[in-house]
Amino acid sequence: MIRKFAALSLTTTLILSGCGQGTLSTPAGNGNATGNPAPPTQPAPPTPTTASAAIKHVVVIFGENESFDHYFGTYPNALNLPGETKFTAAAGTAIPNNYVSNPGLLTNNPNSLNPKNNVVNGSGVATSVASNPYRQAPAQAWTGSQSHDYTAEQNAFNQGNMDLFPFSVGAADNAAELALGGPYKALNATKALTMAYYDGNTVTAFWNYAQHYAMSDNSFSSTFGPSTQGALNLVSGQTDGVLNPLNLGSSAVDDGNGGQALISDADPAGDVCSSTSKNTSMSGQNIGDLLNKANVTWGWFEGGFDLGITNANGTTGCSRSSVIVASGSNKATANDYVPHHQPFQYYLSTRNTTHARPSSVSAIGTTDAANHQYDTHDFTDALAAGIMPTVTFLKAPAFQDAHPGNSDPLDEQTFVVNMVNAIQKSQFWSSTVVILAYDDSDGWYDHVSSLINGSASKADTVSGSNLCISSSASQSALAGWDGKPHAQGRCGYGMRQPLIVLSPWAKKNYIDHTLTDQASVLRFIEDLYVGGTRITGSFDGIAGSLLGMFDFSNGATAPNATPVLLDPTTGTVTSGN
């Protein structure tokens, strides 16, 4: 099912008043034409405030690898089986573009009808199955990761038919994950796993956040591809401008301007935790450069970045690791820090290759040896000291970042809820926005497509061999990072992903349909804190606005001021309404 939308420029809200026609007025206190007293004077409506006046802090919690349908496919309807955390939606909850509003997707899905999704190996065992979407129970929170490469995701779209997901991006659970049992175990053992989804009995916190704040059902990754592309698009809105590549191979393609665009994961060059056999740097600007120029405090806080800490299991340095709680008796572990999840390390101006520590807690957010790159504990340390940078990016340690295989929705929930609760209890909440966003889809099935930017590299297939729309198609000219013509290797938008905005200024229980992408978060920060400055060649110039998710109409009074605190284990509401 395809929806194509024109990319939106920054939303303008028109406030219309005094539109009555043929109204007669009489002088105050003199009565009207019948001699009756004049009605009492009505108080003037409040003067609307602005986003820049109301929002002094932006926190982006950047998760890993989830599609919208994977988390919100049946929102707001949860199955509520015995023994599972119960979720009941508020009366009048709007239904997003999902399986509830499109029920045929559950029973007559295009992926269940395409025979190419049925694959049997030489032993007669089905390795891929043409399947409808199916529900994963909370006990199956820990699953394997799907293929989510630039070309594989385009193949799954199958020229807009959205019907080759098992064949193109599906991957079966491994033995340890399958041992957790649960319904649909047979399907989980095949590439049909890509069709699985969770409901409010597993992703309870995220459904509750959607109930109390604003959620988008029309937000996408800026381009196809995995984590590195999503991280770069978040902070710079671009993926071309590869600098000093080392053994990138198929991870990069020619951008048509004599350079290269990154289309797959590669570690940042120079990071002491990076691979020394395959890495790269990036040219051009990022939002950190713009914030520094404007003297705005900011930081990227990623779990595992502080190499001086020793975890309870004795691990330290680049090999610090934590147990994946949802793996149960398997006691699987994941390294806390993942270099290719740290976008600012790719840029010479904002990297901290040695993971140098900040000079003090009070210096967090300013420019010192740490160069704005920190561990997640540095954020909570600063918050406890009454300090919060104007712009904060939070990246969980890998076992809590939601990436299937090394994480899961339940461990993610613990990290997100603990961070949001801490912010809501702080002095900063009244002027803060927390944005929950993701780097890529992991290849999980989603039924919506919105292609706006073309490419004709050897890795493009969504519209045919070596083709994504066309070599130059775009809603607006997206030049290369250095101002050269339209860059190749940037087919997008890619997969649809969750996007939730939490704030006293967010609309309550609201679904926004504005077309947005990862660079919309970048644009939001640019508009608030650097005077709307754009990055050359970036998707930020055509990114849709997030402002439709807010309500600034009641002056200085926030419409959603009461904090909503959740239980970090169950995701249920513990206070607020």
Residue at token pair 């590195």: 228
pLDDT band at 547 (very low <50, low <70, confident <90, very high): very high
The tokens describing 290, both together, are 């713009």
| 361-389 average pLDDT score | 98
Would 41 be classed as within a structural domain? no
Distance of CA 139 to the CA centre of its chain: 24
Total Cβ atoms within 10 A of residue 369: 12
Residue 40 lies inside a defined structural domain of this protein: no
pLDDT tens, 176-221?
999 887 788 999 999 999 999 999 999 999 999 999 999 999 999 9
**pLDDT score for 23:** 31
Closest CA to 195 of 206, 184, 203, 181: 184
Domain annotation covers residue 180: no
pLDDT higher than 90, residue 353: yes
Going through 332-447 in order, the beta strands assigned E by DSSP cover 333-335, 373-374, 391-395, 432-438
Q: Determine, yes or no, domain membership for 391.
A: yes
Residue with tokens 């957790």: 180
Q: Which residues make beta-bridge pairs with 575?
A: 565
Q: Which two tokens stand for residue 522?
A: 């970048």
Q: Identify which has the larger pLDDT, 487 or 484.
A: 487
In our burial notation (b when 16+ CB lie closer than 10 A, e otherwise), range 175-190 reads: eebbebeeebeebbbb
CA 205, chain centre distance (Å): 16
Nearest partner of 450 among 492, 513, 489, judged by Cα: 492
Give how many domains the chain has, as a whole number. Answer: 1
Structure tokens at 202: 């597993």
Q: Is 195 helix (H, G, I), strand (E, B) or coil?
A: helix
Q: In CATH, what number is assigned to the domain containing residue 318?
A: 3.40.720.10
DSSP lists the bridge partners of residue 281 as: 243
Amino acid letter at 371?
N
pLDDT score at 395: 98
Q: At what angle do helices 409-424 and 204-212 cross, to 10 degrees?
A: 40
Mean pLDDT of 401-407: 97
For position 469, what pLDDT does the model report? 93
CB burial of 200-230 (b: ≥16 within 10 Å; e: otherwise) equals: bbbbbbbbbbbbbbbbbbbbbbbbbbbbbbb
Peptide bond into 493 cis (omega under 30): yes
CA distance 96 to 513: 9
Q: Are 164 and 111 in contact (CB under 8 A)?
A: yes
pLDDT of 54 above 50? yes
**pLDDT tens-digit map of 566-577:** 999 999 999 987
In this structure, is residue 555 part of a structural domain?
A: yes
Whether 14 maps to a domain, the answer reads no
- Distance between CA atoms of 455 and 462, rounded to whole angstroms? 10
Which residue, 221, 371, 224, 344, is CA-closest to 282? 344
Structure confidence at residue 146 as a pLDDT band (50, 70, 90): very high
With b for 16 or more beta-carbon neighbours within 10 A and e for fewer, the 246-277 pattern comes to: eebeebbbbbbbebbbbbbbbbbbbbebbeee
Q: How confident is the model at residue 12 (pLDDT cuts 50, 70, 90)?
A: very low
Q: What pLDDT is recorded for position 481?
A: 56
DSSP letter at 401? S
What are the beta bridge partners of residue 367?
A: none
Report how far residue 129's alpha carbon sits from residue 194's, in angstroms, rounded to the nearest whole number. 10
Residue-level pLDDT at 484: 72
Query: In which domain, by residue range, is 306 found?
Result: 51-83+199-569
- The Cα–Cα gap between 297 and 389 comes to 5
Single-letter code of the amino acid located at 244: N
Comparing 534 with 36, which gets the higher pLDDT? 534
Mean pLDDT of the chain: 92
Q: Whose CA is closest to 181, among 332, 372, 328?
A: 328
Q: pLDDT at residue 427 above 60?
A: yes
Query: In sequence order, what are the residues at sequence separation of 6 or more whose Cβ sits closer than 8 angstroms to the Cβ of residue 38?
Result: 26, 27, 28, 29, 30, 31, 32
- In angstroms, the CA 431 to CA 399 distance is 30
Say whether pLDDT at 479 is over 70.
Answer: no
Whether 303 shows a pLDDT value over 80: the answer reads yes
* Secondary structure element (H or E) that encloses residue 302, with its range: strand 298-302
Average pLDDT of the residues in 442-447: 98
Q: Determine the pLDDT at residue 34.
A: 46
Domain presence at residue 468: yes
Burial of residue 282 (number of CB atoms within 10 Å: 0-12, 13-18, 19+): buried
Quote the distance between the C-alpha of residue 504 and its chain's center: 20
What pLDDT is recorded for position 26? 31
Residues 5-28 have a mean pLDDT of: 35
Phi, psi of 519 (to 5 degrees): -70, -10
Number of other residues whose CB lies within 10 A of the CB of residue 170: 30
Bridge partner list, 62: 437
Let me know if residue 166 belongs to a domain. Answer: no
DSSP state for residue 407 in the 8-state scheme: B
Q: Which two tokens stand for residue 445?
A: 């099935």
Mean pLDDT computed over 436-447: 98
Segment 307-318 mean pLDDT: 97
